[in-house]
Structure 1
Amino acid sequence: MLYKNLFFDLDDTLWAFSLNARDTYEEMYQKYRYDRFFDSFEHYYSLYQNHNLELWAEYADGKVTKDELNRQRYLYPLEAVGAGDSVLAKAYEKDSLSVIPTKSRLMPHVHEVLEYLSPKYNLYILSNGFKELQVHKMRSSGIDNYFKKVVLSDDIGILKPWPEIFHFALSATQSQLNESLMIGDSWENDIVGAAGVGMHQVFYNLSGRVDLPFTPTYQISDLKELLDLL
């Protein structure tokens, strides 16, 4: 067997982050009567998402802290429409971050794939998410028992795609590089990051992206394809 250790990204690889987050923020939008400030939920969510991506990039570069990322991403949409109420934003933040990890929607075929893989391989999570959320997400969706260890950027303060987190994950799980495989949906974080340290990769190409700068070790569009690869 070529591989012994499989490192999975969590958000939008196993746990359906995009769907679960959208559900949560739409609930919060109604609860906090944000229709007072925004034309629609779509108006709010587009403002939130665009700035959230920018903040995560800054967080990865060490330009903002975790607390500042959370503060800014929830306050910014309100500020953008002239309703910069920091107390309201903080309440929305606290509520959102308590609700989102209780959501349980998974990407297609997750349980089937993990049931097949878990007796054959050492399964690990390697994620950029926050510790207080990621473990709760896994428990809520019933996938926590498949994994021998959860390795998070929170553990060392360094995010994928930086090589340090991949080396840390290998060390923390006592895994050999040439026996390990990274599986994820983020080209930059998962595939470029793993390739940068010489780890083989599976690109879960959800969007059907074709303009890839290099050829990943494997490419799939459905997790069920892992059953034929591994």
Structure 2
Amino acid sequence: MGYKNLFFDLDDTLWAFSLNARNTFEEMYIKYQFHRYFDSFHHFYTLYEKRNIELWAEYGVGHITKQELNHQRFLYPLQAVGVFDENLAKAYSDDFFTVIPTKSALMPYAKELLEYLAPTYNLYILSNGFRELQYHKMRSSGIDGYFKKIILSDDIGVLKPGPQIFNFALSSTQSKPENSLMIGDSWDADIVGAHGVGMHQLYYNYVGRTDFSFLATYTVNALKDIKDIL
């Protein structure tokens, strides 16, 4: 195969974003006594998640700014139950961003995989996450030392799957598409994006997705199965 360079997505590929975020939101729910406004934590989180997905899509195509994304997604659940309190939304938003990067849960077998790959390959992070969070998250979970470079959408103002961020990642690491592999859990951001610039792709399909516009170079359902490929 001849791979020299492995580009990893971070959130829900290595760092367990969904789990860590849910746990942090539950802490905020308790701290701010949101039971006063919502039927349950599930009620609150369902409202948040639906609007968050919509807002990230808007952010991805440049319709809203990063600041608007963060303002609206934290305010929306409160507004949805008739609580129009900007100060409350900002307080729990600020607390959320303070707490979440301290969380250390990783996806199953993530650290073992990095231990296995690091002696043989150049490892890089290629993430859409925010600069002020991603470095902290990697330090908290103990995986920062495995990577030679961290490339973030914040660096160039373009989100995956935009070809600009993939080309920037290749250029800034002196890598070539033909000897590089993108590894990620997002079909649309990681796999489609890498495919678009001629990079091979490894799709971490832990959610069991079945609808694809093309076949990824490799697909695994568990990180441990990557050892059978690399």
Q: TM-score, normalised by structure 2?
A: 0.99
Whole-angstrom CA distance in 2 between matches of 1:84 and 1:102: 29
Q: Which amino acid aligns with 1:162?
A: G
Percentage of matched positions with identical amino acids: 68
Conservation of the 8 A alpha-carbon contact between 1:21 and 1:100: yes
In the TM superposition, what are the counterparts of 1:7-156 in structure 2 within 5 Å?
7-156=7-156
Shift in Å at residue 123 of structure 1?
A: 0.1
| Runs of 4+ off more than 6 Å | none
1:171-219 per-position Cα deviation (integer Å, ceiling 9, x unaligned): 1111111110000000000001110111100000011112222110000
Shift in Å at residue 154 of structure 1?
A: 0.4
Unaligned runs of 5+ in 2: none
Conservation of the 8 A alpha-carbon contact between 1:5 and 1:180: yes
1:128-157 per-position Cα deviation (integer Å, ceiling 9, x unaligned): 000000000000000000000000000011
Shift in Å at residue 110 of structure 1?
A: 1.0
Whole-angstrom CA distance in 2 between matches of 1:18 and 1:176: 32
Q: How many residues align?
A: 230
Whole-angstrom CA distance in 2 between matches of 1:111 and 1:62: 34
Shift in Å at residue 159 of structure 1?
A: 0.2
Task: Determine if the alignment matches structure 1 residue 202 to structure 2 residue 227.
Answer: no
Q: Which amino acid aligns with 1:49?
A: E
Q: TM-score, normalised by structure 1?
A: 0.99
SS in 2 for 1:213: coil
Shift in Å at residue 87 of structure 1?
A: 0.3
Whole-angstrom CA distance in 2 between matches of 1:90 and 1:193: 34
Task: Determine if the alignment matches structure 1 residue 176 to structure 2 residue 176.
Answer: yes
SS in 1 for 2:165: helix
Please give the root-mean-square deviation of Cα atoms over the aligned residues, in Å: 0.7
Whole-angstrom CA distance in 2 between matches of 1:84 and 1:34: 13
Whole-angstrom CA distance in 2 between matches of 1:171 and 1:111: 27
Q: Which amino acid aligns with 2:216?
A: P
Whole-angstrom CA distance in 1 between matches of 2:185 and 2:90: 30
Conservation of the 8 A alpha-carbon contact between 1:76 and 1:84: no
Whole-angstrom CA distance in 2 between matches of 1:112 and 1:209: 25
